[in-house]
Structure 1
C-alpha cells in the first residue's frame, strides 16, 4: 500500500513546497480567515441563512439540501474516514510562519473535512439552483485551497474530501428528489371569445389567502380587469350556491379565482359544473395548481384573457357515500394523510418540501391509528392513502412534482399497516430512498378507485382542505374536464 502511495505523497510534497514559495501577500491573511470561518461549517450555515432569507424557492430548497449534505459529508469525513485512514499532516514548517494557525488541528489529515463540507454544500445548491451555486463555487474553492495554503492538509486530502462531499450531495437525490419547477404538460389548446378588461368574468377572491396578500393583489386585478365582477369570500358565503346564482342571473361567461389551492379547487368545481373556463391567479401560500399549469405570473393569465386562449386539463372527482360529489385539482387523501398534509405545508416554506414531508411522516406514523378498508375489493390496513390528479413524480419517493395533467390518470399511493414492524420499515425506506422496494408501500396509476372504510366515517382532505367525512369513497379521473386561461409562451414574448 505504501509503495502505491509513494507517487501521491511525492506529488503532495512538491505541491506544498511550491505553495510555500509563494510571495507573502494580503491573500495569506484572507485565506487563513476564510479557512477558520469554515470551522464546524459555520460559513455554510451563514450562507444557507442568507439564501433562506433573501432567496427564492429554489434557493431556499438549495440551502436546506446544502445543510443536509454538509451534515452527512462532515460526519463521513471526520467520523468515519479519518479514523479509518490515519495520515500525518504536513510538518509545521511546511509553510511560512505568517500563514500558520495558532492551534493547528491534530486529527488525521486524510481527508479534508473542510473540503468535503465546501463541495457538499456547493453541489447540493447546484442541484436546486445552478446559478446560485456558480456564485458560491469560488468561495468553496478558496476554502478548499486554503487548507493547503495554511499548511494543515496535503493536496490529495483536499481532492478526496471534495470528491466525498460532492458524492454525498449527489446522493441526496436518492431520498430527496430534485423538484422540476417547469409547468406540467397540459391538454389540447382551444380558443374562446376574448374578455377585454375582464368583461363577463366573475372573479372569486379569498382575501385571507397567502397571509392576507390577496388584498394587495386584488387592487392590481381591479385595475387590470375593471369590467369583471368581484366576489369576495367570507365565512357566511356558500360559494357553490352563490356562483350558480350569479351565473344564472348575470352575463357570466367565465370564472376567475384569486387564492390558494383550496379556493382554486372550489371555484374549479363550479367551473366544471357550469362548463365555464377558469382564469387562475396565484394568491395563496403554495399555489401548486397555478404553478403546474404555468400561471404563477398574472401576466400569463391576463394575456390569455385578452387573446381568448384556453388549455384543457384533467380534474378528479370523488363521490362520497354514493351521494355528494367533490372535484379536486391536486390531491385527495385520508387516514393519516390529512394530518401529514397539514404538518408538511406548515413546515415546508421554512425547511423545504422533502424535510418537511419526512418530519411530518414521522409525526403522523408515531401517533396514527391504522385504517381498515377495502381498496378496489381487496382488504388493506392503511396508515394513509394519497390520490393525485395526474401522475406525480418521482414514483418511488414522496411525490414532488406533476409533469402531466392531461392523461386521465389517478396517482394512487398508500402505506400498509398490516405488516410486521410496518412503521419502522416505512421510516427506514423513506430515509434510505428504498420505498420502491418496500412491501409497505403500494403505488398504482389508474383511472378510478373504490375505497370502503370499516367502522366510523373518516375525514377526507381535498386540495389541503379537510372538510368531508365518508365511509364509501369512489374516485375517478375526469380527462380534459376543465378549460383554463393560459397563453402559450410565444404569445407572451
Structure 2
C-alpha cells in the first residue's frame, strides 16, 4: 500500500479513477457483455457465463463476505489527494467486490473462449489494482476478492457444463446432388425468424437460381411447401430453409416425407439443430451444396390419436424435442427469459413458475401407470444429463431421450428443485431419464396437446414416439469451418 502511494503523479491516476468508477455495481462488465452478446457462438456464451459468475461473486462478496468479515478501509490520507475518490465507499473493506466481479467475469469468459479471457485479463487486473491505487482497499482485500471471483466462475460448471465447440457426430453419409447457385432448389425464407436481419438478399446472392417461398400468415407451412413442390414437378432436387428451429422442423418434415435432402441456413434466435449439426452460416451450407456433401441423421416421430373427431392417427416428425404437460410452457418461458438473462438462472426461473401452475397428468407410460408433471422426449441422446439438455454429441444414436418428473411421490416438486440446485438429478427418485428406441404414452384423464420443436401440435390421448434412424439427409461440409 505504501509503495503504491509513493508512485509519482501521472495520467494513470485519472484513468484508474475513471476505471474504478465505471466498474461500480458491475456496469463495466455489463456493457462489455452486451457488446460480446451480439456475436454468436463462444463469444455470446462467454458473455452469459461471465455475467452468471459475476452475479454469484457479487452475492458472495457483498451479501455474505462483507457482513461476516467487517474490516476498516484504508484512511484517505494514505494516498495523495489527486487519487482520492469523491465518494468513498463505507461498507466493509474485505473482500473487494470490484476484484471479485472482475475475476468472475474474466474467468467465466475464459472458460468459454480462452482467447477472449486473455484479452480481458489486463482490464480485470487494472480494475482490481485501481481499488488499491485510489486508496479504498488493502491488497489483501483484492487477493481475497480475486480468489472468490475465480471460484464463482468455476462453480458455474456445476450447473452449466461447458458447451463443446465440436459438431455432433454421425457415421452415416448420405447421397445428395451437387447444386451450384441454388439450381433445382426450393428454399423457404422466414424473414421474421430470430433477431437477425432478413436473409433474403444473402440467399439470392449465393443462390440466384433458387425458388424462394415465404411463409404465408394463417397457412400451414407444410401444405404451402407441398403445393410448391407439385407446381415445380420433378425439377426440385433439394429443399432449403433459412429460419429458426420451428421453420426448419416444418421444412425438414416435408424433406423426410419426400426423400429430398435439406439445406439448412440458421437465422433463428437459438438454432439448436444447426448448432448440433455444425452449421453456423449460409457459406457453410453453400460449401456443402457445391460439394454434394451430406449426412444422414435420425428424426423423432410421434403418432397422435384418440382425439374426438380425428380421422386416424396424426403423424409428426421432430428435429429436436417433443413434450407433454408442463414442458412446452417451461421451454417457451425459459427461452423468453434467456434473451436477457444467463441460461441456467433462466431455466431455474422457468421451472419454478411452471411447476407452481402445472397440473399433473395421469398416464400409462410403456405399460406403467403413473402421474407426471411433465414429459420430455428428445430426438437423440442429449447432454448434459441434468436440468438443461443443451446439445447432442451424436445425431445417429437411434434412441430417444425420455425425461419426466413424477407427480405421485411426496413433495416431488420440492425434491426436484433441490436436486436441480445441487445438481443431483441423476440420483433423484422423482426425476427419471431414459434412453429408449420408442415409448408409448396414454393419457387417462382427457386429451392433451403435444408440442414438437417449440410448436403446439395436435390434440390427442395416445402418443407413440419412435426414433427413425437416418430418416433425413442434410447438407453438411465434410470438414468444419476453420
TM-score normalised per structure 2? 0.89
383, 400, 403: which one pairs with 1:393? Answer: 383
User: For residues 5 and 468 of structure 2, what CA distance do their matches in structure 1 show?
Assistant: 71
- Quote the residue 1:417 is aligned against: 407
Shifted more, 303-312 versus 283-292: the winner is: 283-292
- 1:265 corresponds in structure 2 to 249
Q: What is the rounded CA distance, in whole Å, between the counterparts of 2:237 and 2:457 in structure 1?
A: 29
Contact 1:61 1:351 in 2 (8 A): no
Which residue of 15, 22, 29 corresponds with 1:44? 29
Q: 1:387: Cα distance to partner?
A: 0.8
CA distance in 2, matches of 1:237, 1:143: 55
The equivalent residue for 1:79 is 63
Unaligned runs of 5+ in 1: 1-15
**Cα drift, residue 240 of structure 1:** 4.4
Conservation of the 8 A alpha-carbon contact between 1:187 and 1:480: no
Q: Which secondary structure does the structure 2 equivalent of 1:357 belong to?
A: helix
TM-fit CA distance, 1:381: 1.6
Residue 249 (structure 1) aligned with residue 239 (structure 2): no
C-alpha change, 1:267 and 1:83, in structure 2 (3 Å) is closer
1:63 aligns with 2:47: yes
The separation in 1 between residues aligned to 2:402 and 2:279, in whole angstroms, is 26
Instruction: Tell me by how many angstroms 1:186 deviates.
Output: 2.4
Name the SS of the counterpart of 2:317 in structure 1: strand
Between the two proteins, the alignment pairs up a number of residues equal to 474
Partner in structure 1 of residue 200 of structure 2 = 218
Distance in 2 (CA, whole Å) between partners of 1:201 and 1:330 is: 24
- RMSD between aligned residues: 2.6
Q: 1:362 to 1:335 in 2, by over 3 A?
A: same
Contact preservation (8 Å) 2:52, 2:342? no
- Say if 2:418 is the partner of 1:436: no
2:476 is aligned with 1:486: yes
Secondary structure of the structure 2 residue equivalent to 1:160: helix
Q: Distance in 2 between matches of 1:104 and 1:229?
A: 65
Change (3 A) 1:136 1:257: same
- Is residue 458–residue 471 contact of structure 1 (8 Å, CA) maintained in 2? yes
Distance 1:212 1:119, change over 3 A: closer
2:199 aligns to what SS in structure 1? helix
**1:310–1:102: structure 2 CA closer, same or farther, 3 Å change rule?**
closer
Q: In structure 1, which of residues 17, 22, 25 is the aligned counterpart of residue 2 of structure 2?
A: 17
Which of 233, 236, 261 does residue 215 from structure 2 map onto? Answer: 233
Moved more, 69-78 or 478-487: 69-78
Matched, 1:331 2:330: no
Q: Secondary structure at the match of 1:198?
A: coil
Residues 456 and 24 of structure 1: is their aligned pair in 2 closer, same or farther, counting only changes over 3 Å?
A: same
Q: Deviations over 1:139-177 (max 9, x none)?
A: 211121122223332222211210011101110221233
Aligned: 1:187 with 2:197: no
Give the superposition deviation at 1:369: 0.7
SS at match of 2:164: coil
Q: Does 1:283 align with 2:261?
A: no
- In structure 2, the residue matched to 1:12 is none
Residue 309 of structure 2: aligned partner:
none
Quick one: distance in 1 between partners of 2:77 and 2:319?
68
Deviates more, 1:324-333 or 1:63-72: 63-72
Task: Please identify which structure carries the higher helix content.
Answer: 1
Q: Pick which of 151-160 and 397-406 moved more.
A: 151-160
User: In 1, are the aligned partners of 2:361 and 2:445 still within 8 Å (CA)?
Assistant: no
Answer whether contact 1:301 1:485 (CA < 8 A) is retained. Answer: yes
Specify the alignment match of 2:340 in structure 1.
350
TM-score where L is the length of structure 1: 0.88
Sort the Cα spacing of 1:200 and 1:133 in 2 relative to 1 into closer, same or farther, 3 A.
same
- Residues 217-250 of structure 1: CA deviation (Å, up to 9, x unaligned): 2343334334433443323456248527835933
- Consecutive unaligned residues of structure 2, counting only runs of 5 or more, are 306-311
Per the alignment, residue 13 of structure 1 pairs with none
Match of 1:9 in 2: none
1:77-476 to structure 2, matched below 5 A, reads 77-102=61-86, 104-210=88-194, 213=197, 216-234=198-216, 235-236=218-219, 239-240=222-223, 243=226, 246=229, 249-321=233-305, 323-476=313-466
Question: How far has the Cα of 1:313 moved from its partner?
Answer: 0.8
Greater Cα offset, 424-433 or 448-457? 424-433
Mapped partners of 2:59, 2:432: distance in 1:
33
